Structure 1
C-alpha cells in the first residue's frame, strides 16, 4: 500500500487563492520599495556555513538548517570524532553549507563580494524565502518569506526616518491601520548594562530583556540570574521594565538614568532625533512607540532597532523589524560600512489581513470569463473568441471538453467566474455569442465580429 504523502513540519502548500493573496502583499511591498528608491537583488538559497554561523548569536546558530555534504560524507570522519557523538565537532566534517537564516547576512556577503560594482549608498530590496529550525506555531514557520530593504554606506539617521515612513506607507496601502512601530537603540541597551554593572553580560542581558512581553517580568529576571547577572544589577534596572508615558517622557527618564554613560547618552540623542523628525510627518497607519525593553536579540545591531506589532486585538507576534548595523560587512573584511534595514514578515502579515478581512474581494476571482464548450465545431469558434478577449485584457478560458452543461456551470461557479459565454450552434449560426452574469443570471447578446464591445463593458 502506498505511503500517504506528507510535507515537513513548519512548511506549507499554497492554494491558487492563497498565492493570489500572498502576491497581493508582495506586489504592494515591492511597489513601495521601488517608490522609495530601492533596487532588487537575489542571493542563493544556501550559503557556505562559515558565512552564516556566529552571526546570529548562540540561539540563532542552533536554528540554522545545515546541508549534508554530497557523496559518502561520513567516510571522512575519523573514528574518535564519530564515536564522541559530539555534534559540534562532527558537523564541520560532514556539512559545509547551510540554508540561509535571514537575508541580511547574505546581503552583507553580497556587498563585500560586489563592492567594486556598487554605487554607495546602496539601497537594495530582496524578497526571498529563508529557513529556520524553529518550533512551528501560529505565525512561525520553518520556511517563510522575508521582504527586506536595506541601505548601506550611509550614517545619516534620516535613513531610519525613511524606514518609519516606508513601514507606514506600506501598511496604509494594505489597509492595515493601527500597527505599533516600536523603537529602541542598542546603544541605550549598552548604556543600561553599563550603568547597572553588567557590561560583560550585555548579550545575555539583551536576549533575556527581549523576551519580556513573551514570558513576563519574573521569568526574565530568572533568566538573567541564571546567566550570571546579579540581583543588585536587576534591581537597578527595575524602573525600566515598566517604563510608561509619552515618548518624550520616556526620553526624559532615559536621559537621567543614562547621564553617566557616554554610549547611553548617544543612543538617547539618536532616538530623540528620529522621534522629533518623525513628528513633522503625519503617519497614517503606524503609532510610533519608544520601548526600552526592545532588544531583538541579534548581535549585529548597533544602533536603532525597529519592531512592528499588529493592531490591538490580533494575537500575533511581530510583523516586521530591523535596525542599524554599523559594521556588519566587517565580518567579511570590509570595514566601516554602516547600514540600516527593515523586514516585512509576509506570512504574519497574511494571517493578520486574513483575520481582519482586509484582502480585496477581487483576489478571489482568478478568471473573468469562461467560455462553455458545446462541441468541436463550436469550440473552434469559441477558441478564436477566447484568444481575442485575452488580447483585449480579459482573463478568459475555454472549458476543454463538451461535457454536460450543468457540470460546466458548476465548474464556473466553483472557480468564482463572474461571466460565462454561451456559443452554441444557434449563436454560431446567428454570428453572435451570449454572456451570462453568474451572480444575477442576466444574459446579454454580442456580435462575434465585435467582442470588444463586451470587453469595454466588463473593463
Structure 2
C-alpha cells in the first residue's frame, strides 16, 4: 500500500478560497504601502549563514533552518569533527546557507550591499515568507509570512506619523476595529531612572509588558523576584495604573519623571506624534500606553502595537524606531523606523468577523455550459469577447450532463451561467442565468457584458 503523502510539520497548504483571502490581505496592504510612497523589494529565501548567525541571539541561532552544501558535502569534514559529534560545529562545515529567519536582517544586508544605489530616506516594504525551526503549535508555524515596512536614513518623527496612518488606513479598509497603542523607549528609560533602577530597565519592562495578560499583582511579584527593590516597585504603581486622556497621561508622566533628560525627550517625541495625528485624524483609537515595552534591546524611540477590538487575539501589528539597523554589517549610524503586519492573525480576525468581500469566494463570474462541439465552437469567440471586457469567464471543458456542470458552478460559487443551444445559436444570442435568483434572460453579448460587468 502506498504511503499517503504529507507536508513538513509547521507548514500549510492553502486552498483556492484561502489563497483568495490571503491575496486580499496582501493586496490591500500593498496598495496602502504604495499610497504612501513605499517601494517593494524582495530578498532570496536563502542567505549565507555568515549573514544570519549571531543576529538573533543564541536561541534564535538554534531556530535557523540550515541548508546542506551541494554535492559531496561530507568530503571536507575532518574525521575528528565526526567523532566529536558537536552538531552545531559540524553544521558550519556542511552548511554555508540558511533560510531567512525574518525580513529585518536581510533588509539590513540589502541596504549595505546597495547603499550606493539607494536614495535616502529609503521607504521599502517587503511581503515574503520566513522560516523558523520552532515547535509547531496553534497559531505558530515554521513557515509564515511577514509584511514589513521601514523608512531608513531619516530621524524625522513624521515617519512615525505616516506609519501610524498606514496602520489606521489598512485596518479601516479591512473593516477591523483596532486600538493602536503607543509608547516610547526613552519614556520607559526615564521611568526606570525615576524609581531608582536604571540598570534594571529590561527586567522592569519585561514584567510590565505582561500587565494585560497576568494582572498587576503578578507583575509586582515578577518585579520583586527579579530583584527590583520594594520601594522602587511602590513608586512604579501610580504609573502602571495611570488613566485619562493621552494629553493627561503625558502631563502626569512629564511631572513624574521631570528629572530624567532621556524621559523628557521621549515625552517630547510622543507629544509631537500625537499632535500631528490629531491634525490629520485617525479612524481608530490611539492610546498612549506606558506599559507597552516590546523588544527593548532593539527599539530606541517610539514603539507601537495594535490589538483587535472585537476578537480575543494577541498583537496583530507592531513596530517602532531603531537607531542602528546596519551596524551589524559594518555600516553604523543608519536610523530607521518600521513595523510588521501579522498576516496570519489578520486572516484569523477577518474569518472570525466574516469581513471578507463576498466576491472573493469565487473568481469566475460566468460559466458557459458545454452542450457539444458545435455549441462550444459558438461559445469560444464569445468568451474571448467577454474576457476582453474584463469579466472572468470559463467554459466547462467536457460535454457532460447539465446537472454536473451546474453543480460545478455552485461548488465554485459562480454567480452566472451562460447557456447556448440550438435556439440561442439561431438567434445569435445567449441565455443568461442568475444562479442566486434562478432568473433566465435571453440576451445579446453586449447586453450580457452590461448585465454582469
- Tell me the TM-score normalized by structure 2: 0.91
State the match for 1:266 in structure 2. 265
Following superposition, the deviation at residue 156 of structure 1 comes to 0.8
Within the candidate set 289, 295, 298, 1:297 is matched to 295
The answer as to whether partners of 1:56 and 1:299 remain within 8 angstroms in 2 is no
Measured after TM superposition, the shift of residue 220 of structure 1 is 4.6
Deviation at 1:254, TM superposition (A): 2.4
Whole-Å Cα distance in 2 between the matches of residues 221 and 76 of structure 1?
A: 55
**Partners of 2:354 and 2:152 in 1: how far apart?**
37
Structure 1 segments unaligned to the other structure (5+ residues): none
- Compare 244-253 and 436-445 and name the one that shifted more: 244-253
Find the aligned partners of 2:259 and 2:363 in 1 and give their Cα distance. 62
Residue 251 of structure 1: CA displacement? Answer: 1.9
Q: Quick check: 2:185–2:296 contact (8 Å CA) kept in 1? A: no
1:144: which partner in 2? 144
Alignment partner, residue 22 of structure 1: 22
Displacement of 1:391 after TM fit?
A: 1.2
Mark the CA change 1:187 to 1:65 in structure 2 (over 3 Å): closer, same or farther: farther
For 2:55, the equivalent position in structure 1 comes to 55
Q: Which residue pairs with 1:379 in the alignment?
A: 376
Greater mean deviation of Cα atoms: 347-356 or 83-92 = 83-92
CA distance in 2, matches of 1:142, 1:171: 26
Matched, 1:126 2:88: no
Checking the alignment, whether the CA contact within 8 Å between 1:250 and 1:290 is kept in structure 2 is yes
Asked whether the equivalents of residues 124 and 151 of structure 2 are also in contact (C-alpha less than 8 Å), the reply is yes
Report which stretch shifted further, 379-388 or 2-11.
Answer: 2-11
Q: Partner residue of 1:107?
A: 107
Is structure 2 residue 399 aligned with structure 1 residue 422? no
Name stretches of at least 5 consecutive residues in structure 2 with no aligned partner. Answer: none
Deviations 1:147-187 (A, max 9, x none): 2211111111111111111111111111223x011111112
Aligned residues: 453
Q: 3-state SS of the aligned residue for 2:116?
A: helix
Q: What is the distance in 1 between the residues matched to 2:238 and 2:72?
A: 58
Partner SS state of residue 433, structure 2: strand
In structure 2, the residue matched to 1:330 is 327
Shift of 1:292: 1.9
* Cα offsets for 1:251-285 (capped at 9, x unmatched): 2332233223222221122112211222222211x
- 2:343 aligned with 1:349: no
Mapping of 1:354-433 within 5 angstroms?
Answer: 354-433=351-430
Q: Deviations over 1:283-318 (max 9, x none)?
A: 11x21111222221263211111111111x411111
Take 1:56 and 1:227, find their aligned partners in 2: how far apart are those partners?
24
Cα shift at 1:343: 1.5
Partner of 2:447: 453
Say which SS state the counterpart of residue 386 (structure 2) adopts: helix
**Kept in 2: contact 1:369–1:397 (CA 8 A):** yes
**RMSD of Structure 2 on Structure 1 (CA):** 2.6
Deviation at 1:224?
5.1
The answer for the alignment partner of 2:66 in structure 1 is: 66
CA distance in 2, matches of 1:420, 1:340: 51
- Kept in 2, the 8 Å contact 1:102–1:130? The answer is yes
Measure the CA separation in 2 of the matches of 1:59 and 1:224: 24
The 3 A distance-change label for structure 1 pair 298 and 127 is farther
- Relative to structure 1, the CA distance from residue 144 to residue 458 in structure 2 (aligned partners, 3 Å threshold; closer, same or farther) is same
Aligned ranges 1:171-182 → 2 under 5 Å? 171-177=171-177, 179-182=178-181
Aligned residue number for residue 441 of structure 1: 438
Q: 1:113 to 1:225 in 2, by over 3 A?
A: farther
Q: Deviations over 1:35-80 (max 9, x none)?
A: 1111111111222233333434455444433334445555655566
What is aligned with 1:165? 165
SS at match of 1:125: strand
The CA distance in 2 between the partners of 1:329 and 1:190, in whole Å, is 24
Instruction: Specify the alignment match of 2:315 in structure 1.
Output: 318
Between the aligned partners of 1:184 and 1:54, the Cα distance in structure 2 is: 28
Question: Structure 1 residues 173 and 204 mapped into 2: Cα distance closer, same or farther (>3 Å)?
Answer: same
- 1:243 aligns to what? 242
Match of 1:288 in 2: 286
Single out whichever of 354-363 and 327-336 deviates more from structure 2: 327-336
User: What displacement does 1:411 show?
Assistant: 0.8
Match of 1:193 in 2: 192
Alpha-carbon shift at residue 138 of structure 1 (Å): 4.4
Partner of 1:44: 44
